[in-house]
Amino acid sequence: MSAPPPVAIPLRLSEHLAAPVEPLKKGDPCTAVILGAGGDLTRRKLMPALYHLLHDGLLHDDFSVVGAAREPLTDQAFRDRMRQAILDSTEVGHVPDATWDRFAQRIHYVQGDMTDPAFFAAVSARVAEFEKESGRPRGRLFYLALPPSVYATAVEHLSATGLVPRIDDPAQRPWARVIVEKPFGSSLATARALNQSILKRLAEHQVFRIDHYLGKETVQNLLVLRFANSIFEPIWNRRHIHHVQITAAETVGVEHRAGYYEQAGVVRDMFQNHLLQLLALTAMEPPVAFRAEDVRDEKVKVLRAIRPITPATIDDFAVRGQYGPGAIGGLAVPGYRQEDRVAPNSATPTYAAVRFLVDNWRWQGVPFFVRSGKRMARRATEIAIQFQRPPHLMFQNGGRSFAANTLVIRIQPNEGVSLCFEIKVPGVDVKMTSVQMDFSYANVFGATDHSAYETLLLDAMVGDGTLYARSDQVEAAWSIVDPIVQAWSAEPPRDFPNYVSGSWGPGAADAFIARDGCQWRQP
């Protein structure tokens, strides 16, 4: 018999910890320039995040933001658009007029073509104007909200015009930094070439390669959970952990990203950045201090310890899938091959499950099962640590099987942490059941509408690269996923589509994980 669903026991914040904590950092004086400000990212994420930071008093009084894009707009027209974007945002509630007025006077606009050196000269003149008015040294933060194909060109222009000079000393003021959006390359070769191009002109500490997953509260809490609690770290190893599951499931299809997705597929889109980042945080050794370079050093060590997957071993380590027609929330949805701008015989995987092995002292023999898919049964991202079962079970319990102890870190939705364990049911007989102690951020701290981008933008303003990817980390991740992509490209699938929209993926994935005596969780 399978174990029944565990009973949930909510956890609450201790009274002596309930007092609000004062913020520890505030943005430096700076001018933030968004290159590509006419896009969806600026409207949905960046401007709402900057507004929130100002609302919470985390932006310096001496702060300005410049939107730069092709469309001819006045400062006021751009402000009006950004106000509407913030009002429409799901991450911002009420926008008081007084708060908006304080934010609006900091918003400016420059029009031009990103490939034209004259455009960067115009941006330079505008930034110099703000710095002269300020009368004090100001940092410069450039956000490349641009197509990946022009990252290298944009950095070349920023360097050539002196907008972002090379600064070898991280302590030097005023500073100049660049935030680069994903995808950072499409393969190991392209990522390496992009790194080389950028690092010819900028120092590593000036380059912030963003992954919004790392700004999520629960992802950051994973480090605190592991390294600030003595009950977890002693058992965080191969002797006590049977396996780890990392899941990123989406109910949506490719939507408007079909053109990109046809070229990328699920492995490039999700594994190279988000999921390998989560694996590295889960498996890393304790850093000597909570400093950017120390944390990133340990993450890179994990990635370098992952056993290579070759074309000869691909079937032992990975399963792929593509969604067909089905139903999500009771509504019929098309299969991937019926989506707009998708080839009718497309071999692009929309689902992948990979068994990673980390060949080091702590994790030898512990499989890390990592999966991601579109049109799945439920939207959920989580890390599940399943512990070893007791070596001997003395309780008969009426033939009911015992559930393994599992620690789950929920990243989205309903961010939180839960722990499943066995207890005795009250009564004269020794009967057991599974219970789940559950901590929810929303229940304990109240609902929050703050986004990951707020954390990441503020970190960039203060020069904290802990939650950003370093060049060697990006290349190490590509070296892991490249062989998977190449092996699957060389051997087209014969069974696509092989899972129904609204399911938990292809049946082959269930058989795949069962080979290790495991089964997938259903978050």
Catalytic residues: 274
| CB of 283 closer than 8 Å to CB of 298 | no
Strand-pair partners of 467:
none
- Tell me how far CA of residue 123 lies from CA of 33, 214, 500, in angstroms: 9, 30, 50
65: nearest Cα among 103, 27, 95, 120: 103
Strands 326-328 and 331-333: antiparallel
Q: What's the CA gap between 380 and 65, in Å, rounded?
A: 34
- Going by their DSSP bridges, the two strands 380-387 and 406-412 should be labelled as antiparallel
**E strand or H helix at 67, and its extent?**
strand 63-69
The residues with which 248 forms a beta bridge, in sequence order, are 372, 381
Q: Token pair for residue 62?
A: 């001496």
497: cis peptide before it, omega within 30°?
yes
Strand order in the sheet with 241-249: 7-10, 431-440, 416-425, 406-412, 380-387, 241-249, 367-373, 351-357, 318-321
Cα(271)–Cα(265) distance, rounded to whole angstroms?
10
Residue 279: both structure tokens together: 């694996």
Query: Rounded to an integer, what distance in angstroms lies between the CA atom of residue 7 and that of residue 414?
Result: 18
Whole-number Å distance between alpha carbons of 519 and 213: 26
Sequence-distant (6+) residues with CB within 8 A of 165 are 159, 176
What is the CB neighbour count within 10 angstroms for residue 21?
A: 6
Structure tokens at 49: 């995040």
- CA atoms in the 13 A half-sphere facing the CB of 29: 13
Q: Under 8 Å CB-to-CB from 234, ≥6 apart: which residues?
A: none
Paired strand residues for 351? 321, 373
Rounded to 5°, angle at Cα 248 from 243 and 250: 145
Residue 395 Cα to chain centre, angstroms: 42
Maximum pairwise Cα distance, the chain: 84
Q: Collapsing DSSP states into helix, strand and coil, what is residue 402? A: coil
CB 386 within 8 A of CB 242: yes
The whole-angstrom distance between residue 146's C-alpha and the CA centroid of its chain comes to 19
